[in-house]
């Protein structure tokens, strides 16, 4: 489920995880969120619910790229210390370099490291990483690359020669 309306994904994912526990199904639910999304009150309602129900089948990854639509996340509504907030809500929280697959897989391999607790992974990322003219430029939240820019981006990412 893709949730363009921010703050719904965590609640829906946690609902699925609760269903999994009730039905005694062994699946896990992965939820990918953004830092701007953590400004939504519904996120923290859901964040409180999952540990209360001991949903250790939930993994929430937060793409912490420090930007959101209208500016820097810390300036729009300060989030730091983000990992501490998840821990305080009862989650087992980890911080990783979001561009380093080994670090992410290392956390995945431990889950559930804390029985009865959901897992939050704060993935520190750089917006537009790997594309020289997009990196750290928040205008690309809304802009669509033209054909020339698309070709250049693909080349820089090694998708085409």
Ligand X SMILES: Cc1ncc(C[n+]2csc(CCOP(=O)(O)OP(=O)(O)O)c2C)c(N)n1
Contact between 16 and ligand X by CB under 6 A: the answer reads: no
Stretch that binds ligand X, among 51-59, 67-75, 78-86, 92-100 (CB under 6 A): 67-75
CB 41 within 8 A of CB 7: yes
Contact between 37 and ligand X by CB under 6 A: the answer reads: yes
Contact between 7 and ligand X by CB under 6 A: the answer reads: yes
Fill in the per-residue mask, 118 to 157: x = in contact with ligand X (CB under 6 A), - = not in contact. Answer: ---------x-------------x----------------
CB 56 within 8 A of CB 120: no
- Least CB distance from residue 58 to ligand X, whole Å? 20
Omega of the bond prior to 116 within 30 degrees of 0, cis?
A: no
CA distance 152 to 156: 6
3-state SS, residue 144: coil
Give the strand pairing for 29-34 and 58-64.
parallel
Task: Return residues touching ligand X (CB under 6 A).
Answer: 4-7, 34-37, 40, 63, 65, 67-69, 127, 141
């Amino acid at each position: 489920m893709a949730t363009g309306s921010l703050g719904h994904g965590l609640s829906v994912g946690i609902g699925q995880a609760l269903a999994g526990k009730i039905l005694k199904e062994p699946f896990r639910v992965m939820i990918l969120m953004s830092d701007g999304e953590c400004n939504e009150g519904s996120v923290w309602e859901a964040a409180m619910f999952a540990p209360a129900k001991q949903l250790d089948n939930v993994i929430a990854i937060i793409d912490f790229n420090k930007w959101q639509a209208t500016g820097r996340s810390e300036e729009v509504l300060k989030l730091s210390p983000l990992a501490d907030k998840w821990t305080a809500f009862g989650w087992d929280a980890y911080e990783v370099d979001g561009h380093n697959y080994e670090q992410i897989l290392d956390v995945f391999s431990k889950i559930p490291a804390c029985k009865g607790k959901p897992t939050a992974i704060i993935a520190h990322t750089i917006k537009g990483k790997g594309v020289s003219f997009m990196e750290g430029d928040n205008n690309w939240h809304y802009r669509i690359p033209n054909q020339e820019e698309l070709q250049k981006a693909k080349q820089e990412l090694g998708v085409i020669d």
